[in-house]
Amino acid sequence: MNHLYMERHDNKDNMHRFYQMFVTPGLFDDWSLIKEWGRVGSPGTVRKEWFDTQEEAIVAGKKLSAAKCKKG
């Protein structure tokens, strides 16, 4: 999992949301999981989570994506 982009649309409730995340290397031999979410068509909120290895970042991303898919 290097990049994941998801959208959720519900016209009845006027809800049009996106969620994306990706894993990137840092400058000091570390890795980050970057998460962005918000309303489709507008700038989103961005958060970074740092990890020592790429595998740790990927596992955290997969866990989070599974939770998002389960939620809907």
For residue 50, the cross-strand partners are 32
CATH for 61: 2.20.140.10
Global model pTM greater than 0.95: no
> How many domains does the chain divide into?
1
Q: Which domain holds residue 32?
A: 3-70
22 to each of 31, 32, 56, how far by Cα in Å? 10, 8, 13
As a whole number, the mean pLDDT across the chain is 90
> Residue 7 pLDDT more than 80?
yes
> Residue 1 pLDDT more than 80?
no
